[in-house]
Amino acid sequence: MIALVTGASSGIGAAVARRLAREPDAHLVLVARRRERLEALAAELGGATVVAADLVDPGTPALVAERVEAEHGRLDLLVNNAGVGGRGSFGSSGWAQLQQTMAINFDAQARLTEALLPLLRRSAPSAIVNVGSVASRVSRPGAGSYSASKFALAGWTEALHLEERRHRVHVALVQPGFAVTEGFPQQELLDRRATRWMVSTDAKVAEAIVDAWKRRRAERYVPRGYALVPVARALLPGLFRRAMGGGRFTPSTRSQPTTGSEQQRQPRP
């Protein structure tokens, strides 16, 4: 089984790699920007293909596809996990922040998938698991660019799920809520007894990703109770917006629903 994980240098990506390494005859391809961390993880796992590259760079998708084709000749599972948080109101951060967040959280996922889709089809039955966020169904102040990128990812994933079914490529969406990662320690939520229950771990998200892959699930929330959040948003939109807009149920922008490695990236020149 050949599995490729993006954002594998830390957080959910590293947890997914460790979990997949326990699968029978697993061979992993680890993709992220930080080579030292990828190589350390590969050594820990007993070996893996390491591709140190920035997914935003135009040449990265073709580079990754060529490496997978040359070294493995097939691809059974693609986990699109890499991501960043987009914090700040639109009035203060503007289009530049929105563009930067979309570039990695949506554009990079679609471009890499496009490059690897022929290989996934040839390797079918195969699967793609996109790591989204509860923020792909609801939004809140200070997280507009993040939610916009996740809404886009969710919509595209649903269409791709239907399109690729006839090619026997399963496409799933895993939706974490608040989870402890390198980029989002979630300390504010963990410090309060009333909100501590809301926080998950990268290991639990990794298990959900494996579950979505193995059991061919279309969508999976982590923890499962977060599936009620978009239901509440749909049934009571006015009340939900009032609560999210300033009620005590709204964590500050120091906490974010989680996706990927969630590393804060430096602005690109």
Q: Is 146 a catalytic residue?
A: yes
CB contact at 8 A, 202 and 182: no
Specify burial of residue 243 (Cβ count, 10 A radius: 0-12, 13-18, 19+): middle
Show Cβ contacts of residue 264 under 8 Å, excluding neighbours closer than 6 positions.
84, 85, 183
Asked if residues 130 and 80 have their Cβ atoms less than 8 Å apart, the reply is yes
Strands, DSSP E only, in 188-228?
199-201, 219-222
Strand partners, 3: 28, 77
**β-pair type (77-80, 2-6):** parallel
- The single residue of 146, 184, 213, 226 carrying the catalytic annotation is 146
Residue 237 in 3-state DSSP? helix
Structure tokens at 168: 């026997």
Q: Name the residues annotated as catalytic.
A: 146
